[in-house]
Structure formats: structure tokens, C-alpha cells
Structure 1
Amino acid sequence: MIYEINTRQKLPINKQEAWEFLSDPKNLQEIMPDDMGFEILSGADRKMYTGQLIQYNVTPLPGFTTKWVTEITHVEKLSYFVDIQLYGPYALWHHKHFIHEIEGGVEVEDLVHYKIPFGALGRLMHPLLVKPKLNKIFKAREAKMVEKFGHFEN
């Protein structure tokens, strides 16, 4: 089964500011929850480009650290980029990042399609462990973006 996450966050910044921050792979570490043990290993030394490979270590669960390799498959400057997991904890991870201009700022949209490994066991673990963890990660990212850029007032 393929699952979906779709989040939207309004920020009081312009498209250029949003793009400059979100398209710099080094900034991902800044908006990840501290308990994820997120560490960039390689590939984040340049601004984002199609074909870029980025390697991280992540700790999705206490005591379980794994490598995650991402490929940036599409980049449309100031509008969107797409990353996919080539290696990591998911059977499938396809993450689209959109930046929409709105009155008074931007709306940042994340659309993720993912699949859990381990068949029936993975499907059982999804509502108990995986989905709550992903929701926590995206909520933490939202809070860190507000901390960095401020609340959207409109």
C-alpha cells in the first residue's frame, strides 16, 4: 500500500527567500527534529541540482540508526523540487516540495508518497509507529520554520 502525507504552511517571506532556504540541502539539518539524529554525510556541498545525491544518517527510532540516500530528480527554480529515496528505511519515498506565492508571503507544500517495507507487518506498524512519527517530524519542521521566519499574519 502507498501512503500519502500532504502538508501546507504559510510563511511571511517571499519566494526567493523560501527557495534560498529550502533548496540548500544543508538547511534540512536545521529543520529536522533533534531526536532524529539527522546527520548529513555527503552531497550537500552545493545548491540543489537535478541528479544530486545526498547521504544522511537518521535515527528514526531510538537505538536504530540507518543510512538514507536521496536523489534530487527534478528542480524548477523558485517553484518546486523532488527528492526520492534511493536507499533507506522505506520501500518507496517520493517527496515533492512546492513553493506557492500567496498574498503576504508563500505557502510551502510538501507532498510525500511512501511505502513501508515488511509487507503485512509494515502495514500493521504504519498506524502505530510510522504515521505518528512522520506527523511528529512534519509538525517539528513547521515549528522550526515559524521560529526561523515568523508567523504568517493575514
Structure 2
Amino acid sequence: MKIYTLHTKQNLPITLEQAWAFLSDPKNLKTITPDYMGFKTLSGDDRPMFPGQIIQYIVTPVLGIPMKWVTEITHVVDKHYFVDEQRFGPYALWHHKHFLKEIPGGVEMEDIVDYKVPMGFIGQLVHPFLVKPKLKEIFDYRHKKLIELFGEYKAQ
């Protein structure tokens, strides 16, 4: 069983409170997801984030085929981190940690995603040219969208 990790960091020129308010609101996930993904929340985004929260989405990650994705928010430490885990969806495993840390002039946002592709050996074969580049593209879009929304961080 091969488990892959995606690790990204981004600095934003906003306060910790602003970053937390935006990133911990499930309604904002659509804003930072590429339009072609057809992202739509079905339920679970009607309250502030809490441990045990179940959020259901529809996404179209490949060939425009709609797929249901169900995540559970398993851990929340206010203004520090939260964890979402896939309960049902396109991955055999999806464990996504979101960390926030104050830095001079802004906040550092760090994402660590541990994931396993489905279909065993076949999934591992397609990972380098299908899954990994698609995830990189999604997180690159998120990076650009956050700059568009909050501006470019300038080191202090």
C-alpha cells in the first residue's frame, strides 16, 4: 500500500483571524477550487467548522464525471489547524491537515495531504501522470486564487 504526500506552504498578507475566518468556512472551498471541477456543496456548510462535521460535495475530477465526496472534520484547534478526512470519494485515503501560523506581516498557511489512490497497482501506475499533476494543478489554482483575494505577501 503506497501512501503519497502533498505538502504546500503559502504566506498571505492578512491576519491570523482573517485567514482562519476564510479557510475554516466550508462555503469558501468552492471559491478556491477550479471551476472545471464542478464543485458544489450538498450539505454540512451551514455552521462554523467543528470536530465531527460531515460535509458532502459533488466534484467532477476526471472526464466531467460527477462524483460524491464526503469529508469529516476530525480535528479543530481554533486559529491553529484543522483536519479533514475523506469518508467517501475518489481516494482510497485522504487525510488533509491545514495549519496556520502568524508570521511578520501576515500568516503562513501550510497544507499536508496524505493520500492513497484507488485501484491498487493500476492506481499507482497512473499516479505520476494523472493524479499527482491534477492535485498539483488544483493546489496551484488555490495558491493563485488566494493571492487574487488577499494580495501578494511581501517579506518583512
Given the alignment of the two structures, is residue 119 of structure 1 paired with residue 120 of structure 2, yes or no? Answer: yes
AA in 2 matched with 1:99: L
* CA deviation after TM superposition for structure 1 residue 63, in Å: 2.7
Aligned residue in 1 for 2:95: 94
SS at match of 2:79: coil
Aligned residue in 1 for 2:12: 11
Pairing 1:79-90 to 2, within 5 Å after superposition: 79-90=80-91
Q: Partners of 1:29 and 1:148 in 2: how far apart?
A: 13
Q: Partners of 1:60 and 1:135 in 2: how far apart?
A: 13
Following superposition, which runs of at least 4 residues in structure 1 exceed 2 angstroms of deviation?
none
* CA deviation after TM superposition for structure 1 residue 62, in Å: 1.9
Bigger drift between 122-131 and 57-66 goes to: 57-66
Q: Which runs of 5+ in 2 are unaligned?
A: none
Identity value in percent: 60
Q: Partners of 1:125 and 1:55 in 2: how far apart?
A: 26
Pairing 1:2-151 to 2, within 5 Å after superposition: 2-151=3-152
Q: Could you report, residue by residue, the CA deviation over 1:79-129 in whole angstroms, capped at 9, with x for unpaired residues?
A: 000000000000000000000111110010000000001011000010010
Q: How many residues are treated as equivalent by the alignment?
A: 154
Q: Partners of 2:8 and 2:101 in 1: how far apart?
A: 13
Q: Partners of 1:63 and 1:40 in 2: how far apart?
A: 17
* CA deviation after TM superposition for structure 1 residue 65, in Å: 1.3
SS at match of 2:145: helix
Aligned-CA RMSD value:
0.5
* TM-score (normalizing by structure 2): 0.98
SS at match of 2:48: coil
AA in 2 matched with 1:87: F
